[in-house]
């Protein structure tokens, strides 16, 4: 069962819910024929939003913000209601994809290097043969391509638009274009298209279980060290806030 309410962590309003609960909320949005914007926020996103007011405002206008990472789950117990489990972007996307054939939902994939969204589409079709992926577009488009992309998306009226441009670019892109998009649910999914395409691997289950997915990523992509330094800063910020 999904827990109720929100927990505000440094200005980011997280829904207190499970992965399954997050899926149900999204499914209800579609049943209500709503157009919504979902953010899967991890500690990096919370920290980036501390310095980027535009990003923080956008997150606060999202219809649903779910906890993407153990850091958020850990912190939540000091900020009101504890979030029961994480709803990682990849897992939420996978749950939506898995249920889409039965529900008749149409999917559009936007993001990644040229070829990645197409490759992800092929792999997802192998996983869920009856899935209806109506379109794909890479994430390295110029501003003048945007109208063409939006027209392509709108001509296919997807229920779900998964946007993998990395944070905060994907959330800013969604927010800027939401009014023009003829879709139900837009979700920023970071590097998930790379994982579905087989271009990058998700951390082994044991790393996920121990909350060490960030460590696996750091080993695989040492260039992320700068961004990952936000993680210890987040921990210190939580501990400091707790003792104030
Ligand atoms: N990306 C993109 N367009 C851009 C910048 C990045 O499509 O202009 C893609 C990139 O190819 C990768 C994803 O965005 O697939 C970013 O993945 P990452 O895991 O770094 O995302 P985050 O950690 O921000 O969730």
Q: What is the pLDDT of residues 83-141, one digit of tens each?
A: 999 999 999 999 999 999 999 999 999 999 999 999 999 999 999 999 999 999 999 99
Examine the pLDDT at 210 and tell me if it is beyond 90: no
Res 223 pLDDT > 70? yes
pLDDT tens column, 47-76: 999 999 999 999 999 999 999 999 999 999
Is 140 close to ligand 1, i.e. is its CB under 6 Å away? yes
Checking if the pLDDT of 166 tops 80, the result is: yes
| pLDDT at 71 (0 to 100) | 94
| Tokens of residue 189, six digits | 């999914």
Identify the structural domains of the chain with CATH numbers, from first to last: 6-197 (3.40.50)
218 within 8 A of 225, measured Cβ to Cβ: yes
pLDDT of residue 31: 93
pLDDT at 209: 83
The predicted structure's pLDDT at residue 228? 83
Q: How far is the CA of 24 from the centre of ligand 1 (A)?
A: 27
Judged by DSSP in three states, 36 sits in strand
Where does the pLDDT of residue 212 fall: very low under 50, low under 70, confident under 90, or very high at 90 and above? confident
Task: Verify cis geometry, omega within 30 degrees of 0, for the bond prior to 168.
Answer: yes
Q: Is the CB of 111 under 6 A from ligand 1?
A: yes
Whose C-alpha lies nearest to ligand 1, atom 25?
Answer: 190
Among all chains, which residue has been given the structure tokens 């505000």? 8
Nearest CA to ligand 1 atom 6: 165
Which among 87, 82, 97, 90 has a CA at the least distance from the CA of 127? 97
Distance 37 CA to ligand 1 centre (A): 18
β-sheet bridge partners, residue 107: 133, 160
**Does ligand 1 come within 6 angstroms of the Cβ of 190?**
yes
pLDDT > 70? residue 30: yes
* pLDDT reading at 23 higher than 90: yes
Task: Give me the phi and psi of 39, to 5 degrees please.
Answer: -115, 130
Pocket mutation for ligand 1, best pick of 40, 71, 136, 139 (most atoms within 8 Å of C-beta): 139
Instruction: List the Cα angle 82/93/196 in 5-degree steps.
Output: 130
From residue 212, alpha-carbon distances to 50, 152, 190, 215, 244 in Å are: 24, 39, 18, 5, 28
Q: Is ligand 1 within 6 A of the CB of residue 188?
A: no
Cβ neighbours, 10 Å, residue 61: 11
Q: Which atom of ligand 1 is nearest to the CA of 167?
A: 24
Q: Is 167 near ligand 1, meaning CB less than 6 Å away?
A: yes
Per-residue confidence (pLDDT) for residue 18, from 0 to 100? 97
Say whether pTM exceeds 0.85.
yes
CA triplet 64, 65, 68: central angle to 5 degrees? 140
129: CA distance to ligand 1 center in Å? Answer: 26
Which residue, 70, 160, 72, is CA-closest to 59?
72
> Using CA atoms, how far apart are residues 53 and 30, in angstroms rounded to an integer?
30
Report which ligand 1 atom has the smallest distance to the Cα of 189.
Answer: 25
Residue 77 CA to ligand 1 center (angstroms) comes to: 30
């Amino acid at each position: 069962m999904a827990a109720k309410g929100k927990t505000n962590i440094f200005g980011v309003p997280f829904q207190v819910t499970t992965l399954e609960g997050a899926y149900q909320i999204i499914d209800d949005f579609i049943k209500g024929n709503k157009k919504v914007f979902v953010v899967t926020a991890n500690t990096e996103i919370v920290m980036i939003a501390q310095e980027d007011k535009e990003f923080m405002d956008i997150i606060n206008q999202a219809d649903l913000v779910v906890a993407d990472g153990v850091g958020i789950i850990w912190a939540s117990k000091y900020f009101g209601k504890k979030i029961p489990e994480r709803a990682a972007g990849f897992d939420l996307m996978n749950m939506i994809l898995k249920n889409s054939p039965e529900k008749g939902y149409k999917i559009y994939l936007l993001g990644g290097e040229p070829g990645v969204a197409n490759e992800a589409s092929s792999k997802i079709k192998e996983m869920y043969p009856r899935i209806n992926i109506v379109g794909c577009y890479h994430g390295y488009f110029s501003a003048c391509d945007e109208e063409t992309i939006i027209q392509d998306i709108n001509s296919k009226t997807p229920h779900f638009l998964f946007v993998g441009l990395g944070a905060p670019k994907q959330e800013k892109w969604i927010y800027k274009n939401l009014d023009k998009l003829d879709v139900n649910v837009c979700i920023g999914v970071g590097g998930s298209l790379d994982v579905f395409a087989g271009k990058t691997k998700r951390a082994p289950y044991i790393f996920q279980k121990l909350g060490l997915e960030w460590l696996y990523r750091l080993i695989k992509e040492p260039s992320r060290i700068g961004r990952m330094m936000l993680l210890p800063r987040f921990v210190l910020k939580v501990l400091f806030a707790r003792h104030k």
